[in-house]
Amino acid sequence: MEFARTKKSISVSQRKYTLDLLKETGMLGSKPSKTPIEFGNKIKMFEGDSVDKGRYQQLVGKLIYLSHTRPDIAFTISLVNQILRYFKQTLGIGLYFKKSSDRKVEVFTDADWAGTIDDRKSASSYCTLLWGNLVTWRSKKQSVVARSSAEAEYRAMAHVVCEVI
């Protein structure tokens, strides 16, 4: 990990780890992407092509490790090629913590209703800021099928309330 510290802030990134991952996967020469996921992309769990399960699981594990300093990729880890092209565009991104006199807790949440094509389950995402600094984040598929976008949003809020408590 790479750290940068000033009197007012700390920055943490995994630039070298990201570069090594791009080299290992052969994506260093790929076209960069400005976003970790394409707009309107619906997740489909099973494609027609066969995949080396062990290599895929190893890569996903490395991406999960990288997500400790890259909350921007929490939702898109399953979309491996797109996220690798996004890394190429955003090598130096990491966490940034600043001193603040504003001592409040902020929580943001969202859900994508029926975002997974195969089972129509929604994904919940949230992040928590403490004194203006990101301290927790998560994106997870909901365990049940929501009947409406309002229900999906309500479930996402219920999960984040548990986290805050």
Give the model confidence (pLDDT) of 94-113 as tens digits: 889 999 898 999 999 989 88
Number of domains in the chain: 2
Q: Are residues 64 and 116 in the same domain?
A: no
Q: What is the pLDDT of residue 49?
A: 59
Q: Are residues 86 and 110 in the same domain?
A: no
Q: Render pLDDT for 106-146 as a digit per residue (tens, 0 to 9).
A: 999 989 888 777 788 888 889 999 999 999 888 888 889 99
Contact (CB, 8 A) for 80 and 60: yes
Contact (CB, 8 A) for 93 and 43: no
Q: Are residues 64 and 13 in the same domain?
A: yes
Can you give the length of the chain in residues?
165
Q: Are residues 79 and 112 in the same domain?
A: no
Q: Render pLDDT for 39-61 as a digit per residue (tens, 0 to 9).
A: 766 555 445 556 678 888 888 88
Question: Six-digit token pair at 133?
Answer: 């600094």
Contact (CB, 8 A) for 125 and 110: yes
Q: Render pLDDT for 17-33 as a digit per residue (tens, 0 to 9).
A: 999 999 998 989 999 98
Closest by alpha carbon to 87, among 27, 139, 137?
A: 27
> What is the domain range of residue 85?
2-95
CA pair distance 99, 125, nearest whole angstrom: 26
